[in-house]
Structure formats: C-alpha cells, structure tokens
C-alpha cells in the first residue's frame, strides 16, 4: 500500500524482508517412527517410517543431529545412509524397550522390541548437511 507522500519503497523493503526471513526460517517437518524387533538374538524386523507432516508441529526443539549429505533433499535416503548415528540419536531422546524372556525345558526364548513412537522432527537442508531436530 502506498503512503500519502508517495514513499512506497519502505513498505516494499519491509514486505521483502518478511518474505525472505519466513522462507529462510521455515524448516521441513516430518513425522518419524521406528521399531526394531529381535527374537532369540536374531534380527526379526526393523521398520523406519517417515512422512511429511501435514500440519505445523508444535513443540520445544531438543538436541540436533547433523548428517552429511550431497545435494539430496530425500530425508529417507539420508537417514538410511547414516542409520547408526540416527539410532544413537533417537536412543538419547527417548525410546521404549520391551523385553520378554521365557525358559521351557531348559530352552531359552527371548524377544526384545525397541520402539520410538511417532514423533515430529524439523529438518533443515543445507548444501553439505541435514540438521535433524526432535520436537518434544
């Protein structure tokens, strides 16, 4: 909108500043869940589910994880390439552990399930790395 004295450049600068700062500060938000099942000391099942959040996630940012990547915006590929670091990261922010053990006729049977319920993560992509931050 133009002011009475014809100074339109100030309002254009302000609009441009607001637009650029909102584009720079918006991170992509993803919902990530993870489940890992071990039966009798053998990996039975491992599931990592990632989907883009359809609504804005609300929460307090926790510690971040930096993963190197080469011009890729596919978060699933990035996490699969750095799976050990990601598993260590989610263990620090919270994971449920369920363990069952049964002995029958001197035979041991055990099942361990590690679960991270669906949680929102903010992901900032840069040229050389992706910064993943969990929200609580």
pLDDT in tens, 38-50: 999 999 999 999 9
Model confidence at 72, pLDDT cuts 50, 70, 90, reads: confident
* Per-residue confidence (pLDDT) for residue 70, from 0 to 100: 80
pLDDT tens across 103-112, in order? Answer: 999 899 999 9
Q: Which residues are paired to 42 by β-bridges?
A: 39
CA distance 28 to 76: 13
Model confidence at 14, pLDDT cuts 50, 70, 90, reads: very low
CA distance 39 to 136: 31
CA distance 38 to 98: 11
Whether the CB-CB separation of 124 and 46 falls below 8 Å is answered with no
User: Which residues neighbour 126 within 8 Å (Cβ) at sequence distance 6 or greater?
Assistant: none
Closest CA to 48 of 12, 7, 85, 83: 83
* Per-residue confidence (pLDDT) for residue 61, from 0 to 100: 93
pTM above 0.75, yes or no: no
């Amino acid at each position: 909108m133009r002011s009475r004295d014809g100074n339109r450049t100030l309002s254009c600068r302000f609009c441009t500043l607001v637009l650029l700062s909102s584009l720079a500060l918006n991170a992509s938000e993803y919902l990530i869940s993870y489940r890992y099942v071990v039966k009798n000391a053998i990996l039975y099942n491992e599931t990592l589910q990632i989907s883009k959040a359809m609504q804005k996630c609300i929460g307090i940012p926790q510690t971040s994880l930096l993963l190197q990547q080469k011009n890729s915006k596919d978060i699933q590929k990035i996490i699969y390439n750095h799976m050990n670091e990601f598993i260590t990261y989610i263990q620090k922010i919270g994971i449920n552990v369920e363990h069952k053990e049964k002995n029958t006729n001197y035979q041991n049977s055990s099942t361990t399930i590690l679960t991270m319920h669906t949680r929102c993560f903010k992901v900032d992509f840069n040229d050389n790395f992706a910064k993943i931050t969990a929200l609580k």
